[in-house]
């Protein structure tokens, strides 16, 4: 099958994925788990085929001036392959969402109504130069009963081709349709464009990667998109905040992993408590390597701060830089968040119940927290196991997305000849 793959048109591949999705939707959990185990084995023992292809991509990357960061993401080695196999096995342990009954009732006329989870059908994924996403998305799609069409970008084309061949072999080895996982890298940019136009052939499209990639897919796709977005994450220190808790949560939110979307970007402090809280909190952040950017009132209390610009408030630094602002009160904090939040995660440190309740009710974000580090917005931390991404939009899924978010639903109606009067 893999030998002839390059001779197929993209349309052929989408059709084959659809056909495979029909069989996959009916596959038992046991068989899907057997497929995941076969993929894990193929990846863990596939270095001989995978690493030379990966070396070819890396050589092309060096020639084409691929950045060091992207080269690092692209690089596979024995250890990373073992990690990918382990991640695939983690998905075996997760509950299968397919067939879950969500709602049901018997209508007055005796009709029995049941709403059940079903796979989307064919999922498309567009990402960049990260072969780990190939395994990751294929495994998540398989567990949720979906066929998947992967567009991983030309920089990883050789690696992805070998990985998909291994996945297809693994699926076939347990009696699942090999066509359930397809790559369309060989069609280049046209392939991505065509995938975004493939309404009816593809049920949902998931972009993973840079803000630029996600924006492009959201703008151009005619296929429904599950969007994952950037995080300009805020922490508000209320006037009742405990100094030690404020310090620990601010430092953890900012420092624990500054390059990810749930890391803190802007610290807001109630003016009434700024003198008490800012010096110790900012000193602790500074001791942890954070560069403080402060507004005028912040700099009055912490003169070492870099003056903020208007751009700072809307910036996802993804580095050890933090914007700090003194606000008049809760209303001022809520107004600032309303204006600059990307609706990912916001947290408050407070000991006042009414303030906590207003913050939870009025902040319009995927995750709103009281007295907790923003770093907890995460599928793993929430107990979902695998994470598809973190949705910052409001349709279909909001916040960390696990396997159930890769499914749709279907209404089953059982009757005994009922007609409508």
Chain positions contacting a second copy, by CB under 8 A? 22, 25-26, 105, 107, 111, 113, 115, 118, 120-121, 199, 203-204, 218-219, 222, 224, 226, 242, 244-245, 248-249, 251-253, 256, 338, 347, 360-362, 364-373, 375-377, 381-383, 393-396, 398-400, 408-420
Cα gap 362→114, rounded to integer Å: 35
CB of 226 to a second copy, least distance (A): 7
- Closest CB to a second copy among 71 and 216? 216
- Closest CB to a second copy among 46 and 124? 124
CB of 394 to a second copy, least distance (A): 4
- Closest CB to a second copy among 45 and 418? 418
- Closest CB to a second copy among 71 and 115? 115
Contact 119, 411 (CB under 8 A): no
Cα gap 360→365, rounded to integer Å: 9
**Tokens 């699942």 sit on residue:** 176
Contact 32, 176 (CB under 8 A): yes
The tokens for 394 are 């409001």
- Closest CB to a second copy among 69 and 420? 420
CB of 349 to a second copy, least distance (A): 8
CB of 31 to a second copy, least distance (A): 15
CB of 46 to a second copy, least distance (A): 33
**Tokens 């620990």 sit on residue:** 248
Up-side HSE of residue 394: CA atoms within 13 Å toward CB? Answer: 4
Helix (H, G, I), strand (E, B) or coil at 19: helix
Residues ≥6 apart with Cβ < 8 Å to 36: 88, 89, 91, 92, 139, 142, 143
CB of 110 to a second copy, least distance (A): 10
Residues ≥6 apart with Cβ < 8 Å to 110: 415, 416, 418
- Closest CB to a second copy among 163 and 334? 334
The string of DSSP codes covering 304-333 is: TSEEP-GGGGG----SSEEEEEEESSHHHH
CB of 219 to a second copy, least distance (A): 6
Q: Would you say how long the chain is, in residues?
A: 421
- Closest CB to a second copy among 62 and 199? 199
Max CA-CA distance within the chain?
A: 79
């Amino acid at each position: 099958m893999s030998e002839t793959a390059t001779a197929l048109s993209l349309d052929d591949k989408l059709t084959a994925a659809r056909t495979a999705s029909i069989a996959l939707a009916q596959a038992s959990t046991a068989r899907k788990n057997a497929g995941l185990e076969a993929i894990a084995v193929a990846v863990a023992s596939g270095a001989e085929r995978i690493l030379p292809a990966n070396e070819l991509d890396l050589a092309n990357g060096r020639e084409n001036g691929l950045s060091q960061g992207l080269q690092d993401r692209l690089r596979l080695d024995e250890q990373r392959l073992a990690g990918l196999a382990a991640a695939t096995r983690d998905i075996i342990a997760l509950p299968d969402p397919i067939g879950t009954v969500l709602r049901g009732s018997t209508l007055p006329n005796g009709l029995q109504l049941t709403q059940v989870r079903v796979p989307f059908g064919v999922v498309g994924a567009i990402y960049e130069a990260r072969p780990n996403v190939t395994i990751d998305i294929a495994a998540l799609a398989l567990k949720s009963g979906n066929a998947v069409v992967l567009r991983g970008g030309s920089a990883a084309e050789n690696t992805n081709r070998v990985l998909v061949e291994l996945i297809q072999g693994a699926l076939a080895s347990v009696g699942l349709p090999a066509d359930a996982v397809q790559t369309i890298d060989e069609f280049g940019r046209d392939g991505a464009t065509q995938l975004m136009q493939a309404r009816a052939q593809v049920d949902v499209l998931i972009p993973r990667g840079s803000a630029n990639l996600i924006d492009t897919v959201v703008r151009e796709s005619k296929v429904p998109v599950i969007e994952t977005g950037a995080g300009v994450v805020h922490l508000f220190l209320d006037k009742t905040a405990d100094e030690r808790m404020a310090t620990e949560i601010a430092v953890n939110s900012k420092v624990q992993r500054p390059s990810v979307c749930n890391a803190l970007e802007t610290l807001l402090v109630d003016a009434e408590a700024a003198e008490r809280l800012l010096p110790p909190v900012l000193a602790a952040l500074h001791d942890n390597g954070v560069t403080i950017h402060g507004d005028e009132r912040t700099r009055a209390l912490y003169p070492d701060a870099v003056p903020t610009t208007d751009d700072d408030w809307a910036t996802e630094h993804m580095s050890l830089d933090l914007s700090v602002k003194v606000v008049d009160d809760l209303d001022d904090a809520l107004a600032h968040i309303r204006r600059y939040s990307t609706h990912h995660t916001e947290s408050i440190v407070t000991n006042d119940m009414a303030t906590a309740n207003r913050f939870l009710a009025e902040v319009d974000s995927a995750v709103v927290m009281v007295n907790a580090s923003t770093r907890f917005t995460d599928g793993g931390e929430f107990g979902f196991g695998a994470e598809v991404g973190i949705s910052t939009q409001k349709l279909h899924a909001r916040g960390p997305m696990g396997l159930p978010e890769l499914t749709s639903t279907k209404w089953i109606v059982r009757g005994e000849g009922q007609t409508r009067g």
